[in-house]
């Protein structure tokens, strides 16, 4: 019973007793506003409330610090080495070396604690008082993760995003039947990673407080060094556990694509570097590792919480119900406290008002009273006031017996009466109390809310190990024609072909080398990008017309494909040229997705007609032609990179009224004896007039 109630299971304020005793001790030490102090000092002071060894208290403190990185919203601002939640072996420094103070976030834990909002009890020696709960202004029980193992029961509570929890609670206050899933997208952890969303499991967790969900690591691929960099891992594992398991898989030949794995965690954050073989597909290797290691792991939820010292397993709405009741009681006690204090002051001012018209008489009574003990009785007798009022009047300083001071005090009476009446109105009005809670929640959300760290991905859209692992890779050539025919020709077949067979009046507008495992990206006139694996497109011979893209991609009416690109690692850039003289350079990585999305919308700007698209892996020169009279030669290096796919780009060609960019060519496509004549090293530029010879050579008439 003691372990369940006094140690292992959190209460409605979101804390276990050990957490609460530690934070309250720091609050009493003045560490909410003061400077940092040695952790050893805090540990020693906490032992007045927590009858355990210093090691256990220090370990509790470590988990609450910013340095440990285990909480979305740390309660303790720390300096020094506190280890990392993501590391099993990283040792924390001794308490005599580290320094701590309360984070400003703790203002919301202790707000109005001195206004009788909660009950206090004696500590284990009876020498001081400690709070049984903290009057948190937000549902901390859902924001701070908690894991506890008691006797015959356990508790496992995941953390949720503070902004989402505040929004959900505010919605619940307005309508207890509100759909919580609209506001809380899913759990959120300080370690980041990806949450694989499963609607049925999420529904179970939200309703019953029981269930599980899957977390997976985030990674990026460094193609230049053939290295996978894992930079976020599930909250439930450690980087040492991941590395040990990968090393074991390599030793047992269960994974053959890895050359080396090492921990490169540093000041920039967590990083597990996995060197892979040159011909290895990083995406498929990671899928294997997700299945075989804790790079993908499960979090089992058991929302077991103490409510009035009784353990209960509750869903999110039930937790909000009990927290709202708790918070309403805190507010009622605070308001009652304020009413009492204001009423006491009002009582004193009412006594003062009785003598204000005859202040000289009061002074005379005091002066003519021979013994000090008779001053109060004489004032009571003459002015018909009580002892408290008489004490207040008798204690007024001589310098304050002036008209301004006395009238100001009397004028406070009306304000206090109005304040007391308003407080009494709120105290008896549940709607007003809930409005105050909602207002506090909005303030907390605005002041301390952050964006989600754990990205949510839908389970059904995750690429699973499939026949892709068995696909044979080989080099191919791809071709796109003006009439929207697409050809995928294996290199082995293409070598023996004399020429490509095309329809009458059709011609090649894009050709590229690729592999059978490449992603093929089709850019359309409606700013869409269609993504298809190369191995999903039938191969053909040079003599074949190929695949008709309108049918293969199911294009919309009037939609055509302008350009096709092939990639394996999504390195390089896409260059878009527009009629208004602007050019955009977008990283190809912006089109990469963790899931196999077939269609990406808003994939380039629609502000002006796109007249040119090109893939750039190394900087190229382009000749921009304005109304067939001027030309501008620039390098793609001059074009700044834009992360937003739909960016309108930068102005490259200054256009006069009524003119437009009519054509953009790769430098090698323009016939000229001196193409450098048109070069400019800065943009925007007005370009140079074409020479008559260049006009004739390039049909610019």
Cα dihedral 559, 565, 566, 571 sign: negative
Cα gap 497→234, rounded to integer Å: 52
Question: Pairing between strand 455-458 and 194-197?
Answer: parallel
SS (H, E, C) 543-574: CCCCEEHHHHCCCCCCCCEEEEEEECCCCCEE
DSSP structural state of residue 250: H
Close Cβ partners of 197 (under 8 Å, ≥ 6 residues apart): 186, 213, 456, 457, 458, 459
Cα gap 447→422, rounded to integer Å: 28
Q: Which of 697, 700, 614, 626 is nearest to 657 (CA)?
A: 626
CA 373 to chain centre: 68
CA 378 to chain centre: 69
CA 377 to chain centre: 67
Cα gap 230→285, rounded to integer Å: 13
Query: Crossing angle for the helix pair 316-355 and 359-368, nearest 10 degrees?
Result: 80
- Bridge-partner residues for 666, per DSSP? 622
What strands lie across the sheet with 227-232, from one edge to the other?
218-222, 227-232, 272-276, 258-263
Cα gap 524→278, rounded to integer Å: 33
Reduced to 3 states (helix: H, G, I; strand: E, B; else coil), residue 131 is strand
Report which secondary-structure segment, H or E, holds 141. Answer: helix 140-143
Active-site positions read: 97
CA 586 to chain centre: 25
Reduced to 3 states (helix: H, G, I; strand: E, B; else coil), residue 611 is strand
Cα gap 453→188, rounded to integer Å: 6
Cα gap 220→226, rounded to integer Å: 11
CA 278 to chain centre: 35
Cα gap 141→168, rounded to integer Å: 14
Cα gap 129→132, rounded to integer Å: 10
Cα gap 184→246, rounded to integer Å: 34
């Amino acid at each position: 019973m003691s372990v369940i109630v006094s140690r292992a299971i959190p209460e409605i304020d979101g804390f276990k007793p050990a957490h609460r005793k530690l934070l309250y001790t720091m609050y009493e030490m003045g560490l909410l506003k003061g400077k940092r102090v040695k952790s050893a000092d805090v540990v020693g002071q906490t032992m007045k409330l927590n009858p355990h060894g210093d090691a256990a208290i220090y370990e509790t403190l470590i988990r609450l610090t910013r340095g440990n990185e285990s909480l979305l919203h740390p309660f303790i601002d720390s300096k020094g080495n506190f280890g990392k939640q993501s590391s099993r072996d990283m040792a924390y420094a001794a308490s005599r070396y580290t320094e701590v103070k309360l984070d400003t976030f703790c203002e919301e834990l202790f707000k109005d604690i001195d206004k009788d909002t909660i009950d206090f009890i004696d500590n284990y020696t009876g020498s001081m008082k400690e709070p049984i709960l903290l009057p948190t202004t937000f549902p901390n029980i859902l924001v701070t993760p908690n894991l506890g193992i008691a006797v015959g029961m356990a508790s496992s509570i995941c953390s949720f995003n503070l902004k989402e929890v505040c929004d959900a609670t505010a919605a619940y206050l307005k309508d207890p039947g509100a759909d919580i899933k609209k506001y809380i997208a899913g759990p959120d952890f300080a370690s980041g990673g990806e949450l694989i969303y499963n609607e049925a499991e999420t529904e179970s967790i939200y309703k019953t407080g029981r269930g599980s969900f899957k977390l997976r690591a985030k990674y990026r691929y460094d193609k230049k060094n053939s290295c996978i960099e894992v930079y976020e891992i599930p909250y439930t594992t450690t980087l040492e556990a991941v590395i040990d398991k990968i090393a074991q898989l390599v030793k047992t030949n269960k994974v053959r694509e890895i050359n080396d794995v090492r921990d490169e965690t540093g000041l920039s954050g967590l990083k597990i570097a996995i060197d892979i073989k040159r011909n290895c597909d990083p995406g498929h290797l990671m899928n294997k590792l997700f299945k075989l290691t804790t790079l993908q792991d499960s979090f089992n939820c058991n929302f077991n919480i103490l409510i009035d010292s009784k353990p209960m397993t509750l869903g999110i709405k039930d937790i909000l119900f009990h927290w709202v009741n708790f918070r309403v009681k805190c507010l009622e006690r605070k308001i009652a406290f304020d009413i009492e204090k204001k009423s006491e002051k009002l009582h004193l001012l009412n006594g003062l008002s009785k003598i204000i018209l005859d202040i000289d008489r009061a002074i005379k009574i005091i002066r003519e009273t021979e013994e000090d003990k008779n001053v109060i009785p004489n004032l009571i007798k003459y002015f018909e006031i009580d002892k408290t009022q008489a004490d207040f009047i008798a204690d007024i300083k001589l310098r304050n017996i002036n008209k301004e001071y006395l009238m100001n005090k009397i004028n406070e009476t009306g304000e206090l009466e109005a304040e007391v009446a308003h407080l009494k109105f709120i105290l008896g009005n549940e709607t007003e109390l809930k409005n105050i809670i909602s207002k506090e929640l909005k303030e907390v959300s605005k002041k301390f809310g952050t964006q989600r760290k754990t990205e949510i991905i839908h389970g059904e859209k995750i690429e699973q190990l499939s026949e892709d692992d068995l696909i044979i890779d080989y080099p191919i050539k791809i071709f796109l024609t003006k009439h929207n025919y697409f050809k995928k020709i294996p290199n082995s077949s293409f070598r023996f072909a004399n020429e490509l067979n095309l329809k009458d009046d059709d011609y090649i507008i894009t050709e590229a080398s690729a592999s059978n495992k490449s992603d093929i990206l089709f850019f359309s006139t409606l700013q869409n990008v269609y993504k298809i694996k190369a191995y999903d497109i039938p191969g053909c011979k040079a003599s074949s017309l190929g695949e008709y893209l309108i049918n293969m991609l199911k294009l919309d009416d009037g939609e055509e494909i302008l350009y096709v690109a092939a990639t394996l690692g999504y390195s390089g850039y896409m260059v878009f040229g527009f009629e208004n003289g602007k050019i955009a350079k977008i990283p190809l990585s912006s089109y990469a997705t963790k899931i196999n999305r077939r269609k990406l919308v808003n994939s380039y700007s629609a502000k002006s007609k796109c007249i040119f698209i090109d893939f750039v892996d190394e900087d190229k020169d382009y000749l921009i032609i304005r109304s067939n009279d001027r030309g501008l030669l620039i390098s793609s290096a001059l074009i700044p990179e834009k992360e937003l796919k739909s960016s309108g780009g930068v102005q490259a060609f200054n256009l006069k009224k009524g003119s437009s960019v009519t054509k953009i060519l790769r430098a090698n496509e323009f016939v000229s004896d001196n193409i450098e004549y048109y070069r400019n090293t800065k943009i925007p530029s007005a370009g140079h007039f074409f020479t008559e010879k260049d006009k004739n050579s390039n049909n610019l008439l």
